[in-house]
C-alpha cells in the first residue's frame, strides 16, 4: 500500500529519524521539507541581491532538489546561518507558495508511498494524507538530541527562537493538524513510536 504520511512538529523532535524508519518499514520514500527551505535560505545567503521571484525550484523523482540548477550538499544546508535564515524566509507567503506547490506535485512523480516531514505538511500541504502525525517532545530533550546530531549544533535558545518563529508566523504556522495522531516521544524509544504509527496505519 502506498501511503502518504505527514509528520509535523518542532525542531529537534525526531521527525527525520521517525520518517526514515517508517519509510524503511513501509518501503516508501522519505522527504524532509525543511531541506527545501534550507536550499532557498542557502541560495539567498549566497546571492544576497537576488529575489524570491528569480528562483526556479525543482524536486525530481529521486527527491533531489535543484534551485536555479544548483544543488547544495547536505553539509552546506545545516550551517548556523542557514538555520536562522530558513526560519526567517519561511515566514514569507511567496516562499511558502513556491515550496508547497513543488511538494504537492511530488506524490504523482513517485512510484511508491511518501513520508514527508515539516511544520505544515498535515495542516496545509497535504491535509488529506492517509495519516497525519504531530510529534512532540520536551524542549530539554530536543536540545540534547540536536547536540548529539551535528557539529554546529543549535543551543536550546536557538531551538526556542526557531520554534517561536515557526509557531507565531501568520503564514502556515506550526500547529497540530486536524485529526492528527499526537505523539509525545519525550520518554519513548523511536522503535516504540514506529510500532505505534504502524498500528495506526493497519486499519487504513
Instruction: Give the interface size with ligand DC as a residue count (CB under 6 A).
Output: 14
132 makes contact with ligand DC (CB under 6 A):
no
Give the x-and-dash track for 17-36 against ligand DC (CB under 6 A).
----------------xx--
Task: State how far the Cα of 72 lies from the Cα of 7, in Å rounded to an integer.
Answer: 24
The answer to whether residues 152 and 80 touch, using CB atoms and an 8 Å cutoff, is: yes
Query: What's the angle, vertex CA 143, arms to CA 92 and CA 28, rounded to 5?
Result: 65
Question: Least distance (Å) from ligand DC to the CB of residue 33?
Answer: 4
Interface mask toward ligand DC for 42-81; x: CB under 6 A: ----------------------------------------
- Quick one: 96 or 197, whose CB is closer to ligand DC? 96
Residue 16, judged by CB atoms within 10 A of its CB (0-12, 13-18, 19+), counts as middle
Among 85, 114, 166, 193, binds ligand DC (CB under 6 A): 166
Distance CA 193, CA 199 (A): 10
Return d(Cα 169, Cα 165) in angstroms, integer.
6
What residue ranges bind ligand DC (CB under 6 A)? Answer: 11, 33-34, 37-38, 86-87, 90, 118-121, 162, 166
Amino acid at each position: 500500500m502506498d501511503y502518504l504520511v505527514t509528520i509535523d512538529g518542532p525542531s529537534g523532535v525526531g521527525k527525520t529519524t521517525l520518517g526514515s524508519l517508517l519509510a524503511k518499514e513501509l518501503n516508501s520514500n522519505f522527504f524532509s521539507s525543511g531541506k527545501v527551505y534550507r536550499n532557498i535560505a542557502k541560495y539567498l545567503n549566497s546571492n544576497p541581491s537576488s529575489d524570491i521571484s528569480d528562483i526556479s525550484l525543482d524536486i525530481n523523482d529521486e527527491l533531489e532538489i535543484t534551485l536555479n540548477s544548483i544543488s547544495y550538499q547536505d553539509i552546506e544546508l545545516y550551517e548556523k546561518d542557514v538555520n536562522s535564515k530558513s526560519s526567517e524566509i519561511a515566514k514569507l507567503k511567496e516562499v511558502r507558495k513556491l515550496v508547497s506547490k513543488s511538494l504537492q506535485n511530488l506524490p504523482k512523480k513517485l512510484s511508491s508511498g511518501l513520508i514527508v516531514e515539516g511544520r505544515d505538511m498535515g495542516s496545509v500541504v497535504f491535509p488529506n494524507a492517509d495519516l497525519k502525525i504531530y510529534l512532540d517532545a520536551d524542549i530539554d530533550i530536543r536540545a540534547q538530541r540536536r547536540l548529539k546530531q551535528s557539529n554546529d549544533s543549535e543551543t536550546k535558545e536557538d531551538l526556542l527562537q526557531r520554534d517561536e518563529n515557526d509557531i507565531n508566523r501568520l503564514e502556515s504556522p506550526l500547529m497540530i493538524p486536524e485529526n492528527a495522531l499526537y505523539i509525545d516521544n519525550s520518554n519513548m524509544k523511536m522503535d516504540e513510536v514506529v510500532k505505534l504509527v504502524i498500528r495506526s496505519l493497519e486499519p487504513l
